[in-house]
Amino acid sequence: MFEESVLKRIQVTEQSGVRIVGDKVIYIDPIRIVGAPHDADLILFTHPHLDHFSPKDAKKLMKDSTVIAAPKSMAVMCRLLLGRKPVPLLPGETHMLCGVMVETVAAYNRCKPFHLKAMKWLGYVLSFGQTRVYISGDTDITEESKAVSCDIALLPIGGGGYTMNAEQAAELAAAIAPHTVIPIHYGKLLGGASAAERFRAALDSRIEADIRPTAFSTVMVSMYLRIAVLIPLCVVLGYFIGKLL
């Protein structure tokens, strides 16, 4: 059952970073956190890519009682980089975490190599009273995503070989029929400035589009710049190390 009050409690911090405030403060894939509020009761990670798993940002949110939950394949990474043992999760599970019902949904690409089904990365359905919120993670249209029942959906629309594009996200929205969709995971290198309006235009008229300006991101630009610097650096270091050996 859709409740406007739940929709108002959902914030998109940037790209796919989500903050939900209520009795508990929940973050999903926090990134580019301003300040250090240390206010997280629960942090959920969908998968370990750099635009979703940012240890420095998670540490700005963590307090002694913060619960971390992540795909089982990320357990060692979380322990090493966050100093906290996570609740290990697999697709198709239901857990009560910090008083919130959390259901896990497989998130993967069907014909692209970036998010393999074998990694068992995740999306989440969170229940707030009778209102169900689906944060899909990086996924294509899959049998698992089409089987989700929710009132509010946060769906990636950037395409670019990583996720659904705007039109495909609208197709998934039509299949699961939430009351409202918040499009996320798009920006300068993912879908461009027109992605949100293309999504709205393609969306079933019975479904509301709630476009949040903060979802438009330059995170991927920064990530590719870092990679562009690191690769030549690694080559140079490898060359000199080879000379010394």
pLDDT for the residue numbered 192: 84
Domain range for 63 is 4-244
What is the average per-residue pLDDT within 18-38?
96
**pLDDT of residue 23 exceeding 70:** yes
In the structure encoding, which two tokens stand for residue 22, read together?
């209520």
Higher-pLDDT residue of 217 and 192 is 192
Count of the separate structural domains present in the chain: 1
**pLDDT of residue 203 exceeding 80:** yes
| Exposure string over 108-139, b if 16+ CB within 10 A, otherwise e | bbeeeeebeeebbbbbbbbbbeebbbbbbbbb
| Exposure string over 33-45, b if 16+ CB within 10 A, otherwise e | beeeeebbbbbbb
212: domain CATH number is: 3.60.15.10
pLDDT bucket at 189, cuts 50 / 70 / 90:
confident
